[in-house]
Amino acid sequence: MAESFTDTPLLTGRFDAALHYATEHHRRQLRKGTPVPYAAHLLAVASLVLEMHGDEDEAIGALLHDVVEDGGGTPALEHIAREYGDAVAAIVLANSDAIDDGQRPAGDDRTDWFERKQAYLDAFPAKSPAALRVSLADKLHNARSILIDYRTHGDAVWARFKQGQGLATRVYYRELAAAFEREQHRMGEFAAPAVAELRRTVDAITALAVKHQGPDTRTLFAD
């Protein structure tokens, strides 16, 4: 089939600038427990959003979705709003577990993790379709990576997440899959394949955990 083209490119110089900003912010960061540059995740999330027919704001939000949470804090959020618009800033904020201004109080990291993940799940009904698509792309790429690494490294992979043998992380992803299924009607028809793939990937992670660890059906994020 011949290549197809458009007279009006979806991605403009705004996307190019956001990519540069994202790679500068995350330049020294690696994917957990790997030598893979973190930028690989950002590019994958942006790619998945575009495959869901997301617009440029969503693609930029995908590139920047971790900037605020990973050390950028409020100044980064303000910069994003100023340079890329309020719509992009709203997507980034909706996809941040917390705003990291470098002033988090010392405490029980495990309790903080549960509280942040529960709050993220509770916010699903209020998220915009654009924010949901970016979130779905983020979680799908993470789940794919977990499954590949679990198949390769076994239970050693869970040491990356500081959650024991990974039960809390697996339950969180099961709850995420269910949350995206509940909101699928708001994300549009082109998000449906990604919702289905997230469910298959999460179920495959659970099945592998059952093989390695035994029954794996506990629910930690239930209402």
Q: What is the CATH number of the domain that holds 22?
A: 1.10.3210.10
The number of domains in the chain is 1
Which of 46, 40, 42, 35 lies closest to 67 in space, CA to CA? 42
Confirm whether 223 is domain-assigned.
no
Q: Is the pLDDT of residue 52 over 60?
A: yes
Which of 33, 25, 118, 116 lies closest to 79 in space, CA to CA? 25
- Contact between 62 and 138 under an 8 Å Cβ cutoff? The reply is yes
Q: Which amino acid is at 23?
A: T
List the single range of 26-40, 69-83, 96-110, 122-136 with lowest mean pLDDT: 96-110
* pLDDT given for residue 98 in this prediction: 74
Higher pLDDT, 27 or 104: 27
How far is 124 from 122, CA to CA, in rounded Å?
6
pLDDT single digits (tens) 145-191? 999 999 999 999 999 887 678 999 999 999 999 999 999 999 999 99
Q: What's the mean pLDDT in 52-80?
A: 95
Domain that holds residue 136: 13-213
Confirm whether 7 is domain-assigned.
no
Q: Which residue has the tokens 């405490």?
A: 107
- Contact between 181 and 122 under an 8 Å Cβ cutoff? The reply is no
Confirm whether 105 is domain-assigned.
yes
Confirm whether 193 is domain-assigned.
yes
Confirm whether 188 is domain-assigned.
yes
**Beta partners for residue 130, in sequence order:** none
Q: Is the pLDDT of residue 9 over 50?
A: yes
> Alpha helices of 154-191 — where are they, by DSSP H?
167-187
Output the average pLDDT for the chain: 91
Confirm whether 108 is domain-assigned.
yes
Confirm whether 5 is domain-assigned.
no
Confirm whether 79 is domain-assigned.
yes
- Contact between 94 and 127 under an 8 Å Cβ cutoff? The reply is yes
